[in-house]
Structure 1
Amino acid sequence: MAHEAPRNARHCAELLGAGPSIEELVRPLAKLGEKLARTLPAGLGRLTGGEEPVVRIGIPAEGTLDGIAGQERALAAHSLMGLGPKRLPLLATFEAAPVLRLLDRAFGGKGAVPEPLPSAFPLSAELLLARIEEAIATALSAGLGGDAAHMVRPLRRDTSLGQLAPFAPAEPLLQIVLEVEEPGAQPWSLALAFPLSTLAAALVVPRRQRRATRAAPRPAPDGEPFASLPLEVTAVLVDMSLPFSRISALRPGDVLPVTVARSVPIRVDGRTIAAGTVGEVEDRVAVQIQNAF
């Protein structure tokens, strides 16, 4: 008699309690991103032997594995990583062009990318990817506390999400994009995707603690006394760092090359509340909101 393959157990929310919602996980993930922006540059700087890059973190966005696969247009590497002893999954995605550009620089080049892109990564690129994965895993582990329960380790890598199968295609995810800016080099980015179950285990305090700290209902922001309160809103198109020697040598007529990030942060009182893309409305520069807390 043939035996049916075992299925994963499914427990109802009434018995276990509902897990945290996407809205509850956005802010903790954004805080983790801020930690990555501080700790990841040291690891990435060792890859090329140059100055430490500046890492900027976008606002977390909802998605699914199917959505990530649908956005692919060229060669990319997908790295499955495991969190803690249970190896809770998370996914890092690297486009081929930035990896090959870094590889060329690591061998003394200027960051050239072959045209057309190859159909697979060469062995030297695979070795570089392994070093990038280790840098990301180390930074994530430190950002999550650095203990054994929150240690992140690379597990396996593939150019096909279907072959890698890190989690269910329609499972809800939160994605965050890391923009990396290096002196004298073209900016590049990588993306991290976390299933909600992984984030809940790594970032969220127990729900009963959250309920115990809830205060009485607050006035709505679109009602008085807050509705008419003026606030200064800033859209940061360019945020760059220069060494003091370069700043002190600036003269009228000098040109500073800048790159507008894909995701423009919208800030109030120094805190990022939304992100958007630069566009134009009636001959005026405008920012279209893509994500907001």
Structure 2
Amino acid sequence: MTDDGKSLLGDDALGALMAELTEVDDAGGGNGAVRDSVVRPYTFGQDGYASADRLSGLARMAERLARHLRSVIEPFAGTKVQVAAEHHQTMLFDRWRAELPSFSSISLYRLRPLKGGVLAVIEPEFVTAMVDAFYGGSGVAVKHRAREFTPTEERLLGRLTDGIMEGVASVWSDVGSFLPSFVSRETNAAYASLVRADEPVVVQRFIVTPGTGRSSVVAIVYPLGSLRPYESQLAAKVHADPGPVDGEWRGRLARALTHVRLPVRSVLAQPELTVAELMALKPGDVIPITLAPKVPLIVANRRLAYGTIGEQEGRAALMVEHVEQGTMK
């Protein structure tokens, strides 16, 4: 009711609302509950996926694996290959299988002691292109019309996926010691077995571009449940991976350093005075000094060289006679 005693709803609207509430109450047996409602048990924390922060180590490992994939693929491609790692995704296994084309190369490996398996998925067009390039062809990917791989493609697939999984084991070596072993290979996603259809998996995709050819996708699929024991290590362990050395950048830095100016000094003598003499010091006092036969050349409190004091073109000068070993490195 408003302050002036009028209802916010009209009489007709208020009557309709009260009628609906009465019907709901009657249908629920007078207790306000909806008949035939279903209550499902739910445990918090069991159905949710791992957060991106807890799997952040996979992103660092993917960058290292991308460099390894490049070294595995380039001998087959016969040209420079660009490999870019995409951010990993977490999804249900059934949904991932539904997104795959009807014909793909799906290789199942064990990565002991990691529980479960690991899948390596490669597009068939990429396999055909690599076989063509390996035997001297153009290596241009074409639409794969056949529904099965040739024996030659099968052999190349074996070498390719073995190399990929060796790289996976290598990047995981920062977490623990893992040993890959081949289990089986499928071409139909419906027959790919890794976990139950309703269980989540982590998908790490790599975009592979050989030379000027067509880009293809190589994917590594982990069961999320097998990664849970290593989540804390993946999140906490930041690996110092300097990556490849940029020679041009190092050259520019070295040239720039050669033009840095540093103050250089030399000490001609180091006489010693008592505290009483220092306290009585006044203008006009004479302190006798004895010049050493050799004086040091000092840079940043480090003795760089030794020499003798002389004269050149009317100015006092130091002639360097000895350079300390290791100071110029």
**TM-score where L is the length of structure 2:** 0.52
Task: Determine the C-alpha separation between the residues in 1 that align with 2:231 and 2:80.
Answer: 28
- Which residue matches 1:35? 64
Choose which of 179, 190, 204 in structure 1 pairs with 2:232: 204
Letter in 2 for 1:30: A
- State the Cα distance separating 1:24 from its structure 2 match: 3.8
Show structure 2 runs of 5+ residues with no match: 1-42, 238-247, 249-329
Task: Determine the C-alpha separation between the residues in 2 that align with 1:96 and 1:85.
Answer: 30
Q: Which structure would you say has the larger Rg?
A: 2
Contact residue 202 and residue 223 of structure 2 kept, 8 A: yes
Say which structure, 1 or 2, has more relative contact order (CA 8 Å, 6+ apart): 1
- State the Cα distance separating 1:133 from its structure 2 match: 0.6
Q: Deviations over 1:4-55 (max 9, x none)?
A: xxxxxxxxx99xx99982434431111111111222211222223x244221
Cα distance change on mapping 1:116 and 1:190 into 2, 3 Å: closer
Q: Deviations over 1:55-94 (max 9, x none)?
A: 1100111212211221133410111121124553121211
- State the Cα distance separating 1:112 from its structure 2 match: 4.7
Cα distance change on mapping 1:162 and 1:118 into 2, 3 Å: same
Task: Determine the C-alpha separation between the residues in 1 that align with 2:213 and 2:234.
Answer: 44
Identity among equivalent positions (%) equals 19
- The answer on 1:132 being equivalent to 2:160 is yes
- Which residue matches 1:182? 210
The Cα RMSD (Å) is: 3.3
User: What is the SS of the residue equivalent to 1:23?
Assistant: coil
- State the Cα distance separating 1:146 from its structure 2 match: 7.1
User: Where does 1:19-98 land on structure 2 (aligned, <5 Å)?
Assistant: 21-48=50-77, 50-85=78-113, 88-98=116-126
Between Structure 1 and Structure 2, how many residues are aligned?
197
User: Where does 1:198-277 land on structure 2 (aligned, <5 Å)?
Assistant: 198-202=226-230, 204-205=232-233
Q: Deviations over 1:179-234 (max 9, x none)?
A: 11222322221111111122234553299x89xxxxxxxxxxxxxxxxxxxxxxxx
Task: Determine the C-alpha separation between the residues in 2 that align with 1:68 and 1:18.
Answer: 17
- The answer on 1:157 being equivalent to 2:185 is yes
Task: Determine the C-alpha separation between the residues in 1 that align with 2:59 and 2:104.
Answer: 25
Contact residue 108 and residue 120 of structure 2 kept, 8 A: yes
**TM-score where L is the length of structure 1:** 0.58
User: What is the SS of the residue equivalent to 1:193?
Assistant: strand
